[in-house]
């Protein structure tokens, strides 16, 4: 996926300092190139088709969630913390139902039920005006608790190895199917955000909700919609995860919310809303995944890995704030 | 009083903002124990002068003397330290704290870093007793009516033992009876030797309460004179006395049928029983002071705020304006007062802003037809003279005048039957102002019904075919074209025309 970052609607001229303008645009591609060089120098296993394909496969599941999370960020909805729960709903439902109604109908049910949790989030956040972080934290706990009660704390196993083989296989023996699925979702998400009415409304709501409401835009629908989308995509991720592992526990989605948030933030999508794009967020995801890969190849234990990720988030947010100030706006 | 050093002397104060000269060599002298009223139209410079006194703005020229000593007021905290207490129209109280806690909020009495509740209560009682304010010290501020909150706000300013207290429109939200309680408090402060600066649009209050009256007009001092013997008519003459030059050419257009009909529109606490008619091709002015409810009426007609009662008809059909979307569907458009907040989406381009309210019209099944959108934006930007007409440029990189043209463009794209303009020329330069007036004239000529709110009286008088004047949320007068500035001001102040 290209990581060009000037694809926000209508490639526009912005009165900003040179650093702010080109810094924001070129920092991510430059960072990815630097990582590729560092990785190649440090390890001879890094720059191989096998390893880089692994990087892409690792990106794919969380990448689908990143697409939804980008909508949440751009609409100034802060973040969706119920992702682990909706991932679990998708993963568990597809495996519980696959021998009853077949894998693909079961997948659809998983996605829809996860989407339903998103509708609850959307109603509470968009219409009732509750704080998104607290709301999604709460619904996440409720949904996860329900899933645990439902499953009874055991692991759900699947039966459909054909579906697993298809998903973990490669198209024409080259392109991993799961990567392809992710790329299609990312492309659709990108088109939705940059070319549709809903996408434009999402930017407008995030940039100035007052003027947007005064322009006859249904802002509650737009704000809520970002959460419905995120939950639906997280459910879809869970379904893919369940099928490819043929096993799911309620804790299957743990950590995906933070991985997605990290990617979006590192991609330079502002938590303050109104700007950013899917390619940017995917660029952030690629950056984080490459970094992870290098750390693993170097045999760095997981604790320092976490420290590096945390520093990366703080650094990216600080840079966003700095660039906004340098951008010469009030 | 000529012998004594005045508590406050502001001399030769000038202040400019980009494109506007807000104050020109204004001098104000207030003695201890004096109630000094400042009156003037909207935009006459009252607020700017007080914000300079409060340290919020620094004057470009001029000096401030407190008790004869020249000072530089660095900021609001410095102002308070120097004995200047400010009571603004909007209350700055913490609703979840008690009256006593709010009064002592600035410097609660404490022992070893812990708030001394007994001393706090005693101090609050003392302040309330000195002011003669009948407010329960233990009541939660949020549970009190606005009139009592106002007293708490004053008590809070008084608690820091100021030598000067500024009351900015303290009675604008109070009834006659409630205002009486406030006047007693003002009298107590005066007796305590505090210099009270009193800003009000209610001229009768000024006559009853003030010792001295200063009239400002267009950022200049018109006159300071004793309040004794002054009449409301005198003050109005001093406030408006201006030549009505023909700076706003009015285009004569045929006036058609009633398009917008508002009947009995009421929103509790904001406006009551407002009736308005606007005909096709007619420009109707909505005059009145800031806070009289003009913007609130406009917002309710456009569905941004819910009215409590009344009906709105467009071309004879009743419309339920639940939200702006319903208003736009009914053919109503609204160019808001606060362009930054309600008018523009700053991070989006000129094109994106222009198409925002009609995006569905240039889309098929939710998919934006980019060619159609660009054509629409280009056409509207050109029609309104957005310059340069670079529709992909971010809107916040344009000047105020051009931004306003973009807001107009957005609303004209909806092809409205009724266009409500709220301060359409505020914060735009002279050239853009003329452009906007031309646009308004053309819109009227094309049969649009226009309701225009403006704080600039000459603008309202020159452009309007008819004028409604609001006073404290009610229509106090309906004036025909050719009404004088005096008539409007009389109605706006609630005074019967002399």
B367-404 pLDDT tens trace: 999 999 999 999 999 999 888 888 999 998 888 888 99
Check residue A300 and give its pLDDT: 86
Segment holding B209, helix H or strand E: helix B203-209
Q: Compute φ and ψ for A112, nearest 5 degrees.
A: -65, -40
Nearest residue in A to B322, CA atom = A216
A6, A8, A10, A273: best mutation site toward chain B, by most B Cβ within 10 Å? A10
B355, B368, B392: residue with CB nearest A195? B368
Interchain pair B392, A10: CB under 8 A: yes
A75, A190, A204, A216: best mutation site toward chain B, by most B Cβ within 10 Å?
A216
Among the partner-chain residues B325, B351, B367, the one whose CB lies closest to the CB of A196 is: B367
User: Which of A7, A11, A12 is the best substitution to test chain B (most B C-beta atoms within 10 A)?
Assistant: A12
Nearest CA in chain B to A74: B347
What ipTM goes with this model? Answer: 0.86
C-beta atoms of B344 and A208 within 8 A: yes
pLDDT of residue A132: 96
- Cβ of residue B396 closer than 8 Å to a chain A Cβ: yes
* Nearest residue of A to residue B361, measured between CA atoms: A197
Asked if B477 contacts B288 with a C-beta cutoff of 8 angstroms, the reply is no
The pLDDT-based confidence of B132 (bands split at 50, 70, 90) is confident
Beta strand A175-176 pairing with A170-171: antiparallel
- Average pLDDT estimate for B181-208: 89
Q: Are strands B195-199 and B164-168 parallel, antiparallel or unpaired?
A: parallel
pLDDT tens-digit profile of A138-163?
999 999 999 889 888 789 998 888 99
Minimal Cα–Cα distance from A6 to chain B, Å?
13
What is the mean pLDDT of the segment spanning B45-57? 91
User: Whole-prediction pTM value?
Assistant: 0.78
Q: Per the CB < 8 Å rule, is A213 touching B363?
A: no
- Residue of B348, B367, B414 with shortest CB distance to A203: B348
Q: Which residues of B touch A211 (CB under 8 A)?
A: 341-345
8 Å CB contact of A211 and B341: yes
pLDDT of residue B44: 83
* Rounded mean pLDDT, B438-453: 93
CB atoms B304 and A201 under 8 Å = no
Q: Are B294 and B274 in contact (CB under 8 A)?
A: no
The span from the CA of B41 to the CA of B485, in Å, is: 11
pLDDT for B178: 76
Q: B44 and B218 in contact (C-beta within 8 Å)?
A: yes
Indicate the pLDDT class of residue B366, thresholds 50, 70 and 90.
very high
Q: CA distances (Å), B311 to each of B276, B282, B318, B321, B344, in order?
A: 11, 21, 7, 10, 29
Q: Do B356 and A12 touch (CB under 8 A)?
A: no
> Are A179 and B311 within 8 A, CB to CB?
no
Q: What one-character DSSP code corresponds to residue B391?
A: T
Residue B163 scores a pLDDT above 90: yes
- pLDDT tens across the length of chain A (330 residues): 333 333 333 333 334 455 555 666 677 788 889 889 999 999 889 989 889 998 999 899 999 999 999 999 999 999 999 999 999 999 999 999 998 999 999 999 999 999 999 999 999 999 999 999 999 999 999 999 998 898 887 899 988 889 999 998 888 888 899 999 999 999 999 999 999 999 999 999 999 999 999 999 999 999 999 999 999 999 999 999 999 999 999 999 999 999 999 999 988 888 889 989 999 999 999 999 999 899 889 888 888 888 887 888 788 778 777 776 665 433
Tell if the CB–CB gap between B394 and A10 is shorter than 8 Å: no
**Distance spanning both ends of chain B, measured CA to CA:** 34
Residues in chain A closer than 8 A to B347 (CB atoms): 203, 207-208, 274-275
Average pLDDT, chain B: 88
Cβ contact B304–A217 (<8 Å): no
**CB distance from B364 to chain A under 8 Å?**
no
Residues of A within 8 A of B359 (CB-CB) are 197, 200-201, 217
Confidence of residue B245 (pLDDT cuts 50, 70, 90): very low
Residue that wins the pLDDT comparison between B429 and B149: B149
Of A204, A218, A329, the CB nearest to B348: A204
pLDDT digits (tens, 9 = 90+) for A283-294: 999 999 999 899
Residue B496, Cβ density class (10 Å: 0-12 exposed, 13-18 middle, ≥19 buried)? exposed
Q: Answer whether B229 touches A (CB < 8 Å).
A: no
Mutate to test the interface with A, among B329, B343, B348 (most CBs of A within 10 A): B348
Q: Kindly state the DSSP code that residue B14 receives in the 8-state scheme.
A: E
pLDDT for the residue numbered B95: 86
Using alpha carbons only, how large is chain A's radius of gyration in Å? Answer: 20
B interface test, pick of A215, A275, A324 with most B CB neighbours within 10 Å: A215
A109 alpha-carbon distance from chain centroid: 21
Distance CA A109, CA A113 (A): 6
**Torsion sign across C-alpha atoms B50, B53, B54, B59:** positive
pLDDT tens readout for residues B289-318: 878 899 999 999 999 999 999 999 999 999
Tokens, residue B227: 């309040």
Concatenated DSSP letters of B233-297:
HHHHHHHH-----S-S--------SEEEEEEEEEETTTEEEEEEEEETT-EEEEE--TTSSHHHH
d(CA B52, CA B59): 6
Nearest-by-CA chain A residue for B305 = A214
Please say whether the beta carbons of B360 and A197 come within 8 A.
yes
Q: What is the pLDDT of residue B295?
A: 93
Give the tokens for residue B456: 């600039």
Does residue B344 belong to the interface with chain A, where contact is any CB pair within 8 Å? yes
């Amino acid at each position: 996926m290209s990581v060009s970052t000037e694809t926000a609607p209508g490639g526009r001229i912005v009165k900003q300092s040179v650093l702010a303008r080109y810094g924001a645009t070129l920092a991510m591609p430059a960072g990815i190139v630097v990582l590729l060089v560092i990785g190649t120098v440090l390890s001879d296993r890094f720059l191989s088709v096998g390893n880089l394909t692994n990087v892409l496969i690792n990106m794919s599941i969380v990448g689908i969630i990143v697409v939804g999370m980008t909508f949440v960020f751009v609409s100034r909805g802060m973040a969706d913390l119920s992702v682990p729960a909706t991932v679990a709903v998708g993963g568990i439902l597809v495996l519980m139902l696959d021998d009853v109604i077949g894998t693909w109908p079961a997948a659809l049910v998983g996605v829809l039920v996860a989407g339903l949790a998103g509708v609850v989030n959307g109603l509470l956040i968009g219409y009732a005006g509750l704080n998104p972080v607290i709301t999604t934290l709460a619904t996440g706990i409720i949904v996860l608790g329900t899933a645990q009660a439902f499953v009874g704390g055991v692991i759900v196993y699947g039966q459909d190895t054909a579906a697993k083989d298809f998903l973990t296989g490669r198209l024409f023996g080259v392109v991993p199917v799961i990567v392809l699925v992710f790329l299609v979702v990312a492309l659709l998400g990108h088109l939705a955000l940059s070319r549709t009415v809903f996408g434009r409304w999402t930017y407008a709501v995030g940039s100035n909700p007052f003027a947007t409401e005064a322009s006859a835009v249904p802002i509650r629908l737009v704000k809520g919609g970002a959460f419905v989308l995120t939950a639906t995509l997280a459910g879809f991720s869970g379904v893919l995860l369940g099928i490819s592992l043929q096993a799911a526990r309620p804790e299957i989605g743990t950590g995906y919310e933070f991985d997605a948030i990290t990617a979006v933030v590192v991609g330079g999508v502002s938590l303050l809303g109104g700007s950013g794009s899917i390619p940017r967020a995917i660029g952030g995801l690629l950056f984080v995944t490459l970094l992870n890969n290098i750390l693993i190849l170097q045999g760095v234990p997981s604790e320092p890995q976490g420290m590096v990720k945390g520093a990366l988030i703080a650094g990216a947010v600080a840079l966003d704030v700095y660039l906004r100030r340098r951008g010469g706006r009030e | 009083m000529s012998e004594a050093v005045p508590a406050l002397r502001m001399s030769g104060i000038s202040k400019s903002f980009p494109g506007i000269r807000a104050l020109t060599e204004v001098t104000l002298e207030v003695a201890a124990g004096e109630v000094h009223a400042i009156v003037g139209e909207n935009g006459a410079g009252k607020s700017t002068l007080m914000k300079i006194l409060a340290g919020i703005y620094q004057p470009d020229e001029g000096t401030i003397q407190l008790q004869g000593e020249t000072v530089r007021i660095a900021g609001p905290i410095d102002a308070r330290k120097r004995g200047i207490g400010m009571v603004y129209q909007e209350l700055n109280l913490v609703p979840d704290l008690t009256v006593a806690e709010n009064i002592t909020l600035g410097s609660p009495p404490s022992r070893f870093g812990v708030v001394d509740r007994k001393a706090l209560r005693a101090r609050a009682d003392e302040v309330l007793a000195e002011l003669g304010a009948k407010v329960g010290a233990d009541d939660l501020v949020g549970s009190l009516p606005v009139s009592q909150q106002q007293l708490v706000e004053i008590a809070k300013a008084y608690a820091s033992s100021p030598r000067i207290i500024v009351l900015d429109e303290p009675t604008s939200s109070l009834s006659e009876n409630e205002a009486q309680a406030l006047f007693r408090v003002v009298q107590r402060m005066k007796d305590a030797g505090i210099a009270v600066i009193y800003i009000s649009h209610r001229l009768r209050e000024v006559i009853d309460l003030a010792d001295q009256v200063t009239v400002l007009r267009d950022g200049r001092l018109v006159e300071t004179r004793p309040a004794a013997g002054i009449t409301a008519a005198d003050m109005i003459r001093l406030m408006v006395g201006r030549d009505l030059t023909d700076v706003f050419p009015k285009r004569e257009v045929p006036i058609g049928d009633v398009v917008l009909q508002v009947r009995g529109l009421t929103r509790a606490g904001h406006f009551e029983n407002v009736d308005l008619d606007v005909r096709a091709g007619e420009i109707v002015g909505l005059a009145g002071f800031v806070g009289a409810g003009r913007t609130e009426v406009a917002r309710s007609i456009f569905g941004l705020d819910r009215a409590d009662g009344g009906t709105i008809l467009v071309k004879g059909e009743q419309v339920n304006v639940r939200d702006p979307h319903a208003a736009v569907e009914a053919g109503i458009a609204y160019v808001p007062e606060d362009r930054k907040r309600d008018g523009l989406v700053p991070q989006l381009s000129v094109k994106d802003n222009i198409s925002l309210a009609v995006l569905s019209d240039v889309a098929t099944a939710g998919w934006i037809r980019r060619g159609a959108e660009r054509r629409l934006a280009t056409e509207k930007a050109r029609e309104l003279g957005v310059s340069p007409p670079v529709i992909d440029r971010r809107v916040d990189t344009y000047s105020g005048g051009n931004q306003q043209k973009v807001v107009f463009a957005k609303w004209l794209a909806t092809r409205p039957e009724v266009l409500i303009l709220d301060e359409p020329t505020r914060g735009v330069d002279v050239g853009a102002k003329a452009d906007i007036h031309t646009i308004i004239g053309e819109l009227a000529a094309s049969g649009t019904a226009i309701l225009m709110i403006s704080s600039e009286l000459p603008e309202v008088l020159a452009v309007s075919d008819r004028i409604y004047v609001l006073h404290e949320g009610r229509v106090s007068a309906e004036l025909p074209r050719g009404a004088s500035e005096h008539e409007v001001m009389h109605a706006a102040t609630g005074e019967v025309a002399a």
